[in-house]
A = this chain, B = another copy of it.
Amino acid sequence: MTERGPVFGAAEYRRRAAALQAEMAAAGLDALLLTTAPDVFYVTGFLTRFWESPARPWFVVLPASGDPVAVIPAIGAALMRRTWLSDIRIWEAPDPEDDGVGLLSGTLCDLVPARGRVGLPMGPETHLRMPLADYARLAERIAPRRIADATAAVQRVREIKSEVEVAAIREICAIAGAAFDRVPEIARAGTPLERVFRGFQAALLEAGADWVSYVAGGAGPGGYGDVISPAGPEPLAPGDVLMLDTGAVRGGYFCDFDRNFAIGPAPDAARRAHAALYAATETALAELRPGMLARDAHRLLSEALSAQGATPGGGRLGHGLGLALTEWPSFTPKDATELRAGMVLAIEPGVQVAPGRILVHEENIVLRADGPELLSPRAPAALPEIAP
């Protein structure tokens, strides 16, 4: 019988639970309620693509001390039993009369004193993955226990990756790097962009990705218009710049980086834009340090681009990643999150080449005490050309 258990040994998950419990204690939280795939995976090692089905909610409760309790649909019991959790409470979902609210409220009442506080991530970049009407019922049923924001408790722990997590992200970065190396076989002048996207996803799987949660990109003369659209049937043409960006997954961990390619000789403006992006990234690789804020990283990259005579463009200039395609913080002018050693980050400068035409460039790093360590294989300094 094929049975894949959690990604790491129990010690890793115990360390995580203890780290969360320390943050919870500091924040005065008596339990933590987790409902999303990355949060549940982080604490338990429970990894499944079944989250794709919106039909069933899943819950993990981490008490102030002791092991987490899973409150989940019966269909997940076999997989959850292979994690380090021993207290697994199940119901037959979906149940239109009570889809886990009774079981979850009972669990919270068991674990949290009547005047206690249940922490729930409800701040930026979070959402509650259960029906809102059931959440209202839950809040009523566990009263006088109150529900309080636990975003900071979860984010301050999850954002510092352990060495096994860093190794997992380095592995999927290497897999994506191997797939990017094959793009010149996949993308030729005349090839429809949608065929390029399919071929690149197949290359990621062949290189060792378990699955491909995200591929985006764009192509156009000297640059592309946006970076989130699906691919269409239009063929690549000489003079186009093609960008591919992937969040491929192995063992539950994501990479998130991109590469640019010119179809035939690159237009001058595109070569200059790529050089500016490369140089700005070099600056960030040399100068990012723990203790800087996310907005400092934004300024560092913006100024490096401006020093190259380039106009920043394309949104935020970097962000976290790991258990999701993107995590906090965001390299924007307003994000005051402190960068700390152990954070895994995407450095993602973008420039405007012409009105409505951009180039973006992205690498993944882990921030160390003495600066960034690359996890993605570094892009070439010069925009690579694919013979048309």
What is the interface of chain A, defined by CB distance below 8 A to chain B? 1-4, 36, 47-50, 52-55, 74-76, 78-79, 92, 94-97, 99, 120, 122-133, 135, 149, 151, 193-194, 197-199, 201-202, 205-206, 208-216, 218-221, 224-232, 234, 247, 314-316, 319, 324-328, 330, 332, 334-336, 356
**22 chain-A/chain-B pairs, Cβ below 8 angstroms:** A2-B193, A2-B218, A3-B225, A47-B230, A54-B327, A55-B125, A78-B225, A79-B226, A79-B229, A94-B330, A95-B332, A95-B334, A96-B335, A99-B124, A120-B132, A122-B133, A126-B131, A127-B128, A198-B208, A198-B210, A201-B202, A202-B202
Cα(A224)–Cα(B314), bound, Å: 47
Question: Could you say which of B199, B226, B324, B356 contacts A54, with CB atoms under 8 Å apart?
Answer: B324
Copies of this chain in the oligomer: 2
Q: Most chain-B CB neighbours within 10 Å: which of A54, A126, A319, A356?
A: A54
Instruction: List 8 other contacts, CB 8 Å, given A75-B228, A94-B124, A198-B209.
Output: A1-B225, A2-B219, A2-B231, A36-B54, A48-B228, A76-B228, A133-B149, A201-B201
**Which B residues are CB-close (under 8 A) to A53?**
214, 324-326
**Residues of B with C-beta under 8 A to A227:** 75
The minimal Cβ–Cβ distance linking A195 to chain B, given in whole angstroms, is: 10
Residues of B within 8 A of A228 (CB): 48-50, 75-76, 79
- Cβ–Cβ contact A125 & B2, under 8 A: no
A229 touches B52 (CB 8 A): no
